[in-house]
Chains A and B, each alone.
Chain A
Amino acid sequence: MDFDIIFGNAARAAFGPEAVILALAAVGLNVHFGFTGLLNFGQVGFLLLGAYGTSVSVATFGWSLWVGVVVGLVLSVALAVALGFPTLRLHAVMFAIVTIAAAEIIRILIGSTDAIGLTGGPLSVSFDAGAFYDLNPYPDGPHDRYGIGTFEFTGQQLWVITVGWVLVALVCLAVFLIVRSPWGRVLKSIREDEDAARSLGKNVFSYKMQALVIGGVIGGMGGVIDAIKTSGADPNGFRPQVTFFAYTALLLGGSATYLGPVLGAILFWFLREWIESFLRQLTAEAWLPDAAADFLDGTEGVISVAMVGLALVLLMLFRPQGIVGNRTEMQLDAR
């Protein structure tokens, strides 16, 4: 068992593009849920539109990548507005379910065979993200590697994650600036009791809509990074559990904190990859009985996602406020 490899892999995942995408999804969700109390369970829909908006613009319409990025973000805004109008007045539970349903509708439509000509349907879509990699300042020869041990990236990968983490930092700064203002105070008041906010003259619907759009666009950015990273998009990558993973990251780090969702996303991928790598190493161990090795072989992914589920349960039981959350605040929730 080589723990250097295990930790190297885990660190690679923790700082890799997947963690960037998850961090953006979780930061957006933090604006929705953490600060405004909107129980958005369809965050994956925003990622999907970000990714497909970019991919389809380039692959199907032959537009430039940068136009594609804009299209992806505009589509996220459009989804927020279209979703918000009918649903923002709903009871929190109903809002949750309608948002899940909306994201699923989009995924089914985009992934259907009828949509093949436009989105690639079930076969996914791919495009040339060369315009992005042309800007890559890191030498990217076949032997250029950055990092130590298994914690290493190619020049292209390093470029994606550099841009990704800079984006995450900028987004966090922007969220910090708007949330610490009186505007953010209104958001939090809506989270606590929207009738109270209304009774003080705040247009609750308008603020919720603004929050939905902002969080949605941040999620959409995650989708854009996803599209660039994989040079395409696949409908199977946007199942409802992506939203649950984003909630896991958010709650792991601490909801309604500024850096919690980012820390949560890093930790999420670190632990998930650590478990997978550990199991892969374990399967190869000689002392493991054959039956056990056979059982484990190929199930690393299944088990690591199961561990995510278990982690959520344990987190809520033992540290509901997350890593950087405030325990007293949390206890005020219980009524």
Chain B
Amino acid sequence: MRRWVALAGFVLCLVLAWAVPGAAQSGGDAESTEQTVVEGTLRLGFDQFFSGIKITVADEAGARVGQAITDADGRWSVEVPGAGTYLVTLDEASLPDGVSLREGYESTTPVTVAQGASRAVVFAVGEAPKGTPFGERAAQTVFNGLKFGLIIAMSAIGLSLIYGTTGLVNFAHGELVTFGAVIAWFFNSSWGGLNLIVAAILTMVVCGMLGAGLETGLFRPMRRRRLGIFQLVVVTIGLSLLGRQLIQLFFGAEPLPYSDYQVQERWEFGPWAVTPRELITVVVIFAVLVAVGLMLHGTRFGKATRAVSDNASLAEASGINVNRIVVMVWAIGAALAGLGGVFQGLDTDIDPFLGFQLLLLIFAGVELGGLGTAFGALAGSLIIGMSTEVSTLWISPELKFVVPLAALILVLLLRPQGLFGIKARVG
């Protein structure tokens, strides 16, 4: 959702104007025949051209080198001093009402131009977003927020349960999410081309086994060797680095999509336009969360898990096989994280940093709710997801991750134990 309000462009211009007050104005009167130029045409379709739109060109250090206003045919061009990389900025505030940049285009774009060449810059404008009423855009971002929050929540379950039962903060949890997304991609696009649904189920099995393997093969032996909790956390940091780099090694650094369910018609529900893919994402995650909730509160395993979270040695003494519970928690948590990765990959494409980017938001969600409370983690994740997406109504999307992180810091300022956490007694 790359929608910008006029204010952002205006503020940007202010910042630029303030930061480079006396920058040289170039253009027009050229002495050399060999001009180096950036240029372009602003139009919609083949018949609608925009005049009077302000374009600013700055050099890499941010100093302004020139400005142009589009003519009646929507054309503009700015002469630049020579070869190099320049930043071309479209003043969105000067676009007519109901017209804005299309999704995927930034108002500022860097271009590289060779000496004596002219380089065309494309700003694709479209009619859509500005025309939609605020209420409708708000409804859409709320849906996106819900979807994103649910993905975070599902990925957070494992982190929260592992912390609850073993006290370990797993920094490699983000890589479990990435691993899920990537393994599903290999099943789906690389080996054999399995349908994504089949691939997702296989992925959960693989991730679950990986989680159980990490616990039995690494963390349990380490606990047995009486390593402190900090050492274990450092191990997860090491695993996180190792995992991310290995994924990059085998998958590559470039984002790739799954081969199924990419192009879909949007269904209209009142103010919402939703693809079936997104709807399935929301419904499936919701079902999974309900199932996990029922499991934690209704089954023997769930009760045992909560008992271990409450007091592991007491649980052990009352006949609960703590080791088995912890392995199960790892397996289930990793499987859910993997599935979260598949949904996130479906939403944004897959890259080796997908999980690590989510990790901070997962942490934020878990902390916002209060460490170790399952309901709190869900509520916190939804708040994080919502605030991330809804904030794009007012601020630029590249800053959207700032909002939930800032919200986290603010909440902890007022309630250090999180929204639903309980303070422990001293002594």
Question: Hey, which bits of chain A sit against chain B, CB under 8 A?
Answer: 39, 59-60, 86-87, 89-91, 93-94, 96-98, 100-102, 104-105, 108-109, 112-118, 120-126, 195, 240-241, 244, 247, 251, 299, 302-303, 305-306, 308-313, 315-317, 320, 330-331, 333-335
Contacts and interface: CB of A to CB of B under 8 A. Distances in A.
Contact of B399 (A87, A112, A124, A311): A112
Interface string B401-419: 1100110110011001110
Given A244-B237, A312-B241, A101 B360 contact: yes
A122 B19 CA distance: 16
Given A59-B61, A101-B405, A101-B409, A123 B110 contact: yes
16 contacts: A97-B364, A101-B405, A102-B405, A108-B398, A108-B399, A113-B108, A115-B15, A116-B108, A117-B12, A117-B62, A195-B427, A244-B240, A313-B238, A315-B234, A334-B227, A335-B228
B67 interface: no
A177 B232 CA distance: 32
B241 A306 contact: yes
B363 interface: yes
B239 A309 contact: yes
Contacts of B427: 195
A334 B234 contact: no
A113 B11 CA distance: 12
Contacts of A195: 426-427
Given A87-B412, A244-B237, A101 B61 contact: no
Contacts of A117: 12, 15-16, 18-20, 58, 62
A240 B235 CA distance: 16
A59 B18 CA distance: 14
Contacts of A251: 234
Interface string B378-398: 000000000000000000101
Contacts of A116: 12, 15-16, 58, 62, 87, 108
Contact of A313 (B15, B242, B401): B242
Contacts of B402: 105, 108-109
A117 B222 CA distance: 50
A170 B245 CA distance: 36
Contacts of B16: 116-117
Interface string B1-41: 00000001001100110111000000000000000000000
A309 B85 contact: no
B401 A114 contact: no
B106 interface: yes
Nearest to A61: B19
Interface of B: 8, 11-12, 15-16, 18-20, 58, 60-62, 85, 87, 106-108, 110, 163, 169, 222, 226-228, 230-232, 234-235, 237-246, 248-249, 356, 360, 363-364, 367, 371, 396, 398-399, 401-402, 405-406, 408-409, 412-413, 416-418, 426-427
Contacts of A59: 61
A98 B61 contact: no
A330 to B, nearest CB: 8
Given A100-B360, A313-B235, A105 B241 contact: no
**Nearest 3 A/B pairs, CB to CB:** A312-B238, A309-B241, A309-B242
Contact of A309 (B58, B163, B240): B240
Given A86-B413, A90-B416, A123 B85 contact: yes
Nearest to A96: B169
Given A120-B60, A126-B61, 7 more contacts: A96-B169, A98-B412, A117-B15, A306-B249, A309-B244, A309-B245, A313-B238
A16 B427 CA distance: 49
Given A117-B18, A320-B231, A91 B371 contact: yes
Contacts of B231: 316, 320, 333
B62 A120 contact: yes
Contacts of B12: 113-114, 116-117
A305 B62 contact: no
A136 to B, nearest CB: 24
A105 B399 CA distance: 9
Contacts of B62: 60, 116-118, 120-121, 123, 125
A114 B8 contact: yes
A251 B230 CA distance: 11
A126 B240 CA distance: 32
A101 B87 contact: no
A312 B237 contact: yes
B24 to A, nearest CB: 15
A228 B371 CA distance: 42
B245 A305 contact: yes
B104 to A, nearest CB: 14
Q: Which of A60, A113, A305, A334 has the most CB of B within 10 A?
A: A113
